[in-house]
Amino acid sequence: MPSRLYVGNLSYSTTEDSLRQFFTTAGEVKTAEVVMDRQTNRSKGFAFVEMMTDDGAQKAIATLNGKTLDSRQLRIDIAKPKEQRARVGGAGGYNGGGERNRYSGGRSNRDEYED
């Protein structure tokens, strides 16, 4: 059963190929994914590596955690399962804003004209 590892403190210049090669010293690597920022297309400084076996994952943590790759000391741990997040509403609009333009400071415009 493959085990997914979190790799933190990754250099922005680290590629998926160099990451995969680094982890092969601990065992067979199924996938190596450097997480990229969608807007800048630059690494976010962390990655996920999936080892083919649990033993390979444990060996990777034991032997590679704290080791240097591309001049950065890596932090390696078992990846936590991805949490389901609620979808957030779209772009702008008057969601939850009430009728702000009709009222001033919580007072009705009628209050100004009452006798």
Q: What is the pLDDT of residue 101?
A: 54
**Dist. CA 39–CA 5, nearest whole Å:** 25
Question: What is the assigned CATH class of domain 3-78?
Answer: alpha beta
Each of the 115 residues of the chain gets a pLDDT tens digit; together they read: 669 999 999 999 999 999 999 999 999 999 999 999 999 999 999 999 999 999 999 999 999 999 999 999 999 999 998 887 777 766 555 555 555 555 555 555 555 555 5
13 in Cβ contact with 42 (< 8 Å): no
7 in Cβ contact with 75 (< 8 Å): yes
Domain map (residue ranges) of the chain? 3-78
Transcribe 7-31 into DSSP letters. EES--TT--HHHHHHHHTTTS-EEE
**Dist. CA 40–CA 12, nearest whole Å:** 12
